[in-house]
Structure 1
Amino acid sequence: MEIEPEAERRSSSQSPEWAEPEKPKPLVLLRNTERSWRLKTLETLTPLLPEPIADQLGEVSIVAEESLNELADIDLEQISDLELQPLRIQIGLVFIGFGALGIMFLMLYLYTLHPHLSAIEQVQHYWYQYVWFVCLGVAGLFMVGREAMRPPNSEE
């Protein structure tokens, strides 16, 4: 009588790899989720809207379907790190720009609507907004700095 070792018994009790369901790609999952929400919304809104607006809404839905189908065809595994570098730099610059723009609007707001406050009082009352805008700019600077310090041929 032959007895199997313990390791072989454990491996035979596990389900085979082909029995595991395949995980959907994130972009396909996004497309399917958006489609289900969009179709339910169209079914709800179309009877309530005037005919020309309902037709335009249907056309927009068709365009959304086509663009999401194109998006779902993209294989995220094929996108290299080098191809994403310009986008990471742009996102960092957007963070820096929005941080600076936010601080500028905050200062404009304070100097036009609260001219009676001194600089110290302005910071005491609006420190939270200052911190948010500065942090947004610093995060953008970190992103741009990280991309600037990367070696040029990191793709191997």
Structure 2
Amino acid sequence: MDFESKANAPTPTDNIKFAQPTTTRKPLELLRYTEALLRRPTVAVLSPILPPKLSNRFQATSVLADDSFKELAEIDLDTINDFELQPARICVGLTFVGFGALMILVLLLYLNTLRPELSTGEQIRQYWYQYVWFVSLGVTGMFMLGREAMRPIPKRRK
């Protein structure tokens, strides 16, 4: 009897070499092609169904999307530095804070106008989930703004 292990024997799957892509595409270029692959058939199907005025606007919007994504695909993400992204991060932080505050205000308005029969404790008990979400959005925005405020200012080159 042969009690030797056959686990060390080479198998055909050990020698598989996967094909490497010949060209690498940028992420924004992939997004452009993926979005177009989904949008164009949708526009082609919906355009005959829609009223003529709306159909024309729909097709014009599709062409505008093509142009916008073409411009986006030309952006080289490797050339964008951290300092250039600061205004975008500040805007996102302010958006989170503002949206959280606005939604808390809308929730309070809803509770005070359409649900006045509930006491404050009952309102919190029934709508705690929404309160937590909206407060968390605001706190997240505040953390983003605080992080930007504590970032060191880059020295300018002369």
Structure-1-length-normalised TM-score: 0.81
Aligned 1:118-137 pairs, distance under 5 A: 118-137=119-138
Distance 2:47 2:111 in 1: 46
Aligned 1:11-90 pairs, distance under 5 A: 20-21=20-21, 22-90=23-91
Alpha-carbon spacing, 1:28–1:107, altered in 2? closer, same or farther (3 Å): same
Contact 1:31 1:69 survives alignment (8 Å)? yes
Which sections of structure 1, spanning at least 5 residues, go unmatched? 1-12
Size of the aligned set, in residue pairs, is 141
1:75 alignment partner AA: D
Contact 1:82 1:154 survives alignment (8 Å)? no
Query: What is the aligned partner in structure 1 of residue 7 from structure 2?
Result: none
Distance 1:27 1:141 in 2: 29
Following superposition, the deviation at residue 25 of structure 1 comes to 1.1
Following superposition, the deviation at residue 38 of structure 1 comes to 1.7
Alpha-carbon spacing, 1:80–1:14, altered in 2? closer, same or farther (3 Å): farther
Query: What is the aligned partner in structure 1 of residue 3 from structure 2?
Result: none
Per mean C-alpha deviation after superposition, the further-off stretch among 108-117 and 138-147 is: 108-117
Structure-2-length-normalised TM-score: 0.80
Contact 1:82 1:155 survives alignment (8 Å)? no
Alpha-carbon spacing, 1:103–1:51, altered in 2? closer, same or farther (3 Å): closer
Judging by fraction of residues, say which structure has more helix. Answer: 1
Secondary structure of 1:23's counterpart equals coil
Query: What is the aligned partner in structure 2 of residue 143 from structure 1?
Result: 144
2:59 alignment partner AA: G
**What whole-Å deviation, never above 9, does each CA across 1:26-66 have from its counterpart, x for those lacking one?**
11011101111121112212333344433333322222111
Alpha-carbon spacing, 1:33–1:154, altered in 2? closer, same or farther (3 Å): farther
Secondary structure of 1:133's counterpart equals helix
Alpha-carbon spacing, 1:41–1:29, altered in 2? closer, same or farther (3 Å): same
Q: Percent of counterpart pairs with the same letter?
A: 53
CA RMSD after TM alignment: 2.3
1:54 alignment partner AA: S
Query: What is the aligned partner in structure 2 of residue 7 from structure 1?
Result: none
